[in-house]
Structure 1
Amino acid sequence: MILSPSLLSSDFGRLADELKALEQAGLKWVHWDVMDGMFVPNITLGAPVIKRLRKESNLFFDVHLMVQQPERYVDDFVDAGADMVVIHAEATNHLERTIAEIKRKGAKAGVALNPHTPLSVLEYVLDELDMVLIMSVNPGFGGQKFIPFSMRKVAELSGMIKERGLSTLIQVDGGVDPDNTAELVRNGADVLVSGSAFFGFPPYAERLKTFEEVARSA
């Protein structure tokens, strides 16, 4: 299990310090929530912020674009230092083309699905993906409760991946905490995004240990 803490719940006034603290605590990934106020009802940060903070961190930058027409911004975010760029299937008319462009630029490519979006939209692109992000809340705000049917969706996606013999990672974002971590891992989740349930419980090294111990019990 990889834990990717969502900076949406961190102290935005101390992002460089937060990144250093995560690294010192033993984290390997960090999750950037990029919101445009159009695809989701909130605005967060853009490529210039990530570019500046890339110099401050060796963490794997897991960048989740919750924006309309993400193909307009692929170059900006890869050039800013994103290691993984995740786009929403619902946000673009040219999903395959945008995936191909992310990979052409040298980053790993992921596709996110909102809670209501069926797995069938991945039918013809799953083989091209490094990761699929299952949204277990409706995107746009932190601190929401996990939507229960998301667990079945994770299990079904895991089955699809195994059936095709792929190594595609499954990420889950929304309402993830130590109480549902074991079940998520049992159902096939590889990467867990946690915001308020992580940053709200310092010290970070101890919180990471809690998630990892629960995951090992799965």
Structure 2
Amino acid sequence: MSGDILIAPSILAADFARLGEEVAAIDAAGADWIHCDVMDGHFVPNISFGADVIKAIRPLTNKVFDVHLMIAPTDAYLEAFARGGADLITVHAEAGPHLDRSLQAIRSLGRKAGVSLCPSTPEATIEYVLDRIDLVLVMTVNPGFGGQSFIGSQIEKIKRIRTMIGERPIRLEVDGGVTRDNAAAVAAAGADTLVAGSAVFRGRGAADYAANIEAIRAAAEAGRVPHLQNSSAQRMRVSEGGLIR
């Protein structure tokens, strides 16, 4: 499993009339990453914002910009998002015919690369690109709208992807309907990066957002405890057997 639990509030749930203030507020509230959901009205049934908006808010925070492209095609727009300030660019496995090429293009721009899977897409789709990516994003709702309910069947997919990742330095992110109520189950399945929109942007500013972020983080950390205990016990048994120095 990767390192600490990261919380990445999705600005799709922010007040767009005060977007700059909202970004500053979640930064102050303890967000680890800023998740930017880009929708084109073609790949998904909604339109959100593009590279120019990301460029406009980039100076407001030093946090990682986690840019999730729900667009098709993707390759023609990668450079614009890289120049706009994306630190990590995630494309959908379903959005184009040449996923490997898209991931290579992201890396060539000096950005970290991620791949996202819709709920109906099997994890086998990413088997041959695991060594080209820094992040796997499991959608736990059908992409296109915020505020949807978590699809529970994706928990098993998260577990299987965690096994596929193995010891690779790949973060496993979950996006869609994540709340303090299901964060423990998500983390117990193996996720280490949680995107939350509506569950973070409840309240009236940084203090409320901070409480929401902390509640999600605490629940996720609690969910990881059995995994950490099991891993520790296993390492101890192996060590006692003389296989670890």
Q: Which residue of 1 aligns with 2:235?
A: none
Q: Deviations over 1:92-114 (max 9, x none)?
A: 11111110110110111000000
The letter of the residue matching 1:205 is: A
Give the whole-Å Cα distance in 1 for the aligned partners of 2:112 and 2:17.
29
Q: Which residue of 2 aligns with 1:94?
A: 98
1:68 lines up with 2:69 in the alignment: no
Give the whole-Å Cα distance in 2 for the aligned partners of 1:116 and 1:70.
20
Moved more, 150-159 or 198-207: 198-207
Matching residue within 160, 169, 193 for 2:171: 169
- Aligned-residue sequence identity (percent) comes to 46
Give the whole-Å Cα distance in 1 for the aligned partners of 2:146 and 2:201.
11
Q: What are structure 2's unaligned runs of at least 5 residues?
A: 224-245
Map 1:2-17; keep pairs closer than 5 Å.
2-17=6-21
TM-superposed CA distance for 1:19, in Å, is 1.1
Which structure has the greater CA radius of gyration? 2
The letter of the residue matching 2:143 is: P
Give the whole-Å Cα distance in 2 for the aligned partners of 1:114 and 1:83.
22
TM-superposed CA distance for 1:201, in Å, is 4.3
Q: Which residue of 1 aligns with 2:108?
A: 104
Q: What are structure 1's unaligned runs of at least 5 residues?
A: none
Q: Which residue of 2 aligns with 1:26?
A: 30
Q: Deviations over 1:127-185 (max 9, x none)?
A: 111000000000000111111110000000001111xx212111001110011101111
The letter of the residue matching 1:159 is: T
The letter of the residue matching 1:186 is: A
- TM-score (norm. length: structure 1): 0.97
RMSD over aligned CA atoms reads 0.9
The letter of the residue matching 1:169 is: R
Q: Is the 8 A contact 2:107 2:113 kept in 1?
A: yes
Give the whole-Å Cα distance in 2 for the aligned partners of 1:90 and 1:193.
20
Give the whole-Å Cα distance in 2 for the aligned partners of 1:121 and 1:205.
36
Matching residue within 166, 185, 188 for 1:186: 188
Q: Deviations over 1:51-110 (max 9, x none)?
A: 111122212100000001111100000010000000001001111111011011011100
The letter of the residue matching 1:87 is: V
- TM-score (norm. length: structure 2): 0.86
TM-superposed CA distance for 1:217, in Å, is 1.3
Give the whole-Å Cα distance in 1 for the aligned partners of 2:175 and 2:220.
16
The letter of the residue matching 1:217 is: A
Q: How many residues align?
A: 216
What is the DSSP-based 3-state SS (H/G/I as helix, E as strand, rest coil) of the residue aligned with 2:181? helix
Q: Is the 8 A contact 2:139 2:176 kept in 1?
A: yes
Moved more, 22-31 or 97-106: 22-31
Give the whole-Å Cα distance in 1 for the aligned partners of 2:222 and 2:117.
28
Q: Which residue of 1 aligns with 2:149?
A: 145
